[in-house]
A and B are shown apart, each in its own frame.
Chain A
Amino acid sequence: MEEKIRKILSIVLEVPEDEINEGATPYTVENWDSLNHLKLITAIEEEFGVKLTDQDVLEMQSFKLIKSILSNKDVR
């Protein structure tokens, strides 16, 4: 799952994969602004086949949080 999240972040935010680590947040990745966040959510939902709640959308503000929210939804 981590690998997949990393790929999605890299493609959507247009940052090389190796620059995205566990600590990635909107503060550390320049392109991660509110407009790109919408794109990110769209990509995550499609790639993992989940529908996120509006609360999830708000909370997914870091690599770690994306991972933990997706884990709670039982996706791989």
Chain B
Amino acid sequence: MKDLSYTEILKANQELGRSLTAETYNIAAFSNSTINLLKEILEYSLRAEGIPAKVHIGDYDNIVQDARKYCESNGVIIFWELWNVLEGLPYKAETWDEKQLNELLEKVKGEIDFTLKNLQKTPFVILNKFSALPFNAVSLETNRFEQLARQLNRYLEDHVGRNVHLIDLDKVIAGLGLRESVDLRHYYSSKALYTVNFYRAYAQHIMPFFCSVNGKSKKAIIFDCDNTLWKGILGEDGMERIEMSPTTKDGAIFAEIQALALALAKQGVIIGLCSKNNYQEVEELIARHPDMQLRDEHIAIKKINWSDKAVNLRAIVQELNIGLDSIVYVDDSPFEIDFIRREIPEVKTFQVPDKLYDYPRLMREHMNLFYKGSSTEEDISKIKMYKRQLEREEAKKEFVNMEEYFASLKLKMTIFENDESLIPRISQMCQKTNQFNLTTKRYTENEIKNFICHEGARVYAFSVSDKFGDSGVTGVSIAMLDAKSSVAEIDTFLMSCRVIGRNLEYAFMDQLVEALKQSRIKTVKANYIQTAKNGVAKNFYDECSFILDVADKNSSKYVLDISRYRSKNINYIEVRNGRKDQENFIYSA
């Protein structure tokens, strides 16, 4: 993937997507920020490994709700971005007092618990740890924002269940460099922080995990000997002159390589040798050389002879009864590496680099291919610890259901009617909103103004706020009233994707219906016009007790006898009037 441009990835991914069969591997990724660049990059990385993946990106800022919606996925990835837990948190945190910060901390902890509770049965959840790095790397002191990140990370480490895997985003950022990782242009305009290179690095970083859960982890590592496990050529230099002692410059590097191989052996990875050498000499070295760390008991299989290495590697997998695609082969000779790549492309190979000091780093990188998930014993003790902690923390808030969670947000909706000061925002929303938009009619500012001045038209908008702030005007509805026939038609009904998933639309509909009732309307007509994007609103009118009248391929017409309107009775949203002179527009649900 490193060699492909983003466009090439998109193209290759589309091609791989065409050959997907019905049985797909569904990954849902959700976030409180915009992470759409992740979709194709991750999809491609997985498909290139032979995993028939489909990556679904959740709704913007709907982590808690999406946890419900996507709990049946094969796996879930969560980008919980501290900087957007609350708009402007990186700077707001610095001016807040202890009490406010604690309240926020408790809110997020509660959301984490509730989210993970809903994902308990999901095979795995990849949860990024909170990172303050993009915003505090330049500050000398540990600021409050960073403290928040630390506190939340400590909480995660102590609390998450065993299907949750914490990913350290700071490692990905460090590997790439901060400036390469974040792009503030799209941060301010679209709440998208990371660059395309960041997502590449991220996908690569988590790939060993996906390989492990899909049974694609490597099982054996096979080493050449001369200049791969030690410095020098045994047949020429002799046992005394080859180097693998930490006391010499190059020897230190091979000592490190052997120690890393030993660590793999202790994790259950099979170690093998495949070398053109004299069998007897190598045997003696393994048994006697004082600096040799890999001894006979660590080496499961040896092919030390003068036949070609492809033949030897095939023999090795046969004897071990594993696939060619589960071994990694290491050699210092470009000729041998090239030969294996051509003869047995299934075998993963890597060459000892010319810059020898880079060898241990490369080795560590390849060690990820053997990743097998966490060792169980440790996990079990972790779970016990987790349970004990839970018992201690009786005081902390836990949500039992969505209603309770929504109630904790203390949502307040403010309704505006024919408010001229909102014309620019209303028009902007008509033009930009794609998802929760029933008719997708694009109106200019002038057209909105005409509606407001028109006697038979009503333009409603709502803004919404919670305990921690205001998200501004995020919903619009336009109704055309015909007093003579007592019929009203809903021309427009839309809501910004920023506030989807909080049931605000039902509260808004209550207000709209009530307002129409007050205007002596008896029948309400409504229309759902299907687009490629507005599937989320498809059943909205059905849910609001409208009756389907006429439907064709792309649109559904509805009718409501207003006396039969059934409210959802959402009691956790407090509704207020936007202007004092419109007191009559507020009705309790």
State whether A35 touches B36 (Cβ < 8 A). yes
Known: A38-B190, A39-B36. A14 touches B196 (CB 8 A): no
State whether B196 touches A46 (Cβ < 8 A). yes
| Complex interface residues of chain B between 21 and 58 (CB less than 8 A to chain A) | 34, 36-37
Kindly specify which of B6-14, B234-242, B570-578 makes contact with the partner chain.
B6-14
Number of chain A residues close to chain B: CB under 8 A: 21
Bound Cα distance A53, B185 (Å): 8
Query: Is A31 at the interface (CB under 8 A from chain B)?
Result: yes
State whether B10 touches A12 (Cβ < 8 A). yes
The interface residues of chain B lying within 8 Å CB-to-CB of A33 are 434, 533
Query: Residues 518-560 of chain B: 1 if any A CB is under 8 Å from the residue's CB, otherwise 0?
Result: 0000000000000111000000000000000000000000000
Query: Is A19 at the interface (CB under 8 A from chain B)?
Result: no
Chain B: interface secondary structure?
Answer: helix
State whether B186 touches A38 (Cβ < 8 A). yes
| Complex interface residues of chain A between 27 and 47 (CB less than 8 A to chain B) | 27, 30-31, 33-35, 38-39, 42-43, 46-47
Could you tell me the distance in whole angstroms from the C-beta of B334 to the nearest C-beta in chain A?
31
Query: Is B485 at the interface (CB under 8 A from chain A)?
Result: no
Could you tell me the distance in whole angstroms from the C-beta of A44 to the nearest C-beta in chain B?
9
The interface residues of chain A lying within 8 Å CB-to-CB of B265 are none
Contact partner of A39 among B37, B432, B533, CB < 8 A?
B37
The interface residues of chain B lying within 8 Å CB-to-CB of A47 are 5, 7
Bound Cα distance A40, B81 (Å): 24
The interface residues of chain A lying within 8 Å CB-to-CB of B442 are 27
| Complex interface residues of chain B between 156 and 207 (CB less than 8 A to chain A) | 185-186, 188-190, 192, 196
State whether A11 touches B531 (Cβ < 8 A). no
Bound Cα distance A31, B7 (Å): 16
The interface residues of chain B lying within 8 Å CB-to-CB of A54 are 185, 188-189
State whether B36 touches A38 (Cβ < 8 A). yes
State whether A31 touches B190 (Cβ < 8 A). no
Query: Residues 47-75 of chain A: 1 if any B CB is under 8 Å from the residue's CB, otherwise 0?
Result: 10000011001100000000000000000
Bound Cα distance A42, B199 (Å): 12
Could you tell me the distance in whole angstroms from the C-beta of A6 to the nearest C-beta in chain B?
12
Residue ID in chain B nearest A57 by CB atoms: B185
State whether B14 touches A11 (Cβ < 8 A). yes
Could you tell me the distance in whole angstroms from the C-beta of B80 to the nearest C-beta in chain A?
20
The interface residues of chain A lying within 8 Å CB-to-CB of B10 are 11-12, 39, 43
State whether A38 touches B192 (Cβ < 8 A). yes
Contact partner of A35 among B34, B188, B532, CB < 8 A?
B34
Residue ID in chain B nearest A47 by CB atoms: B7
Could you tell me the distance in whole angstroms from the C-beta of A52 to the nearest C-beta in chain B?
8
Query: Residues 378-394 of chain B: 1 if any A CB is under 8 Å from the residue's CB, otherwise 0?
Result: 00000000000000000
A-B contact pairs, 22 of them (CB 8 A): A11-B11, A11-B14, A12-B7, A12-B10, A14-B14, A30-B532, A31-B532, A34-B190, A35-B34, A35-B36, A38-B34, A38-B36, A38-B37, A38-B186, A38-B192, A39-B36, A43-B5, A43-B10, A46-B6, A53-B185, A54-B188, A57-B185
Residues of B that sit less than 8 Å from A by CB: 5-7, 10-11, 14, 34, 36-37, 185-186, 188-190, 192, 196, 432, 434, 442, 531-533
Top 7 A-B pairs, shortest CB-CB distance = A43-B7, A54-B185, A42-B196, A46-B5, A35-B36, A11-B11, A11-B10
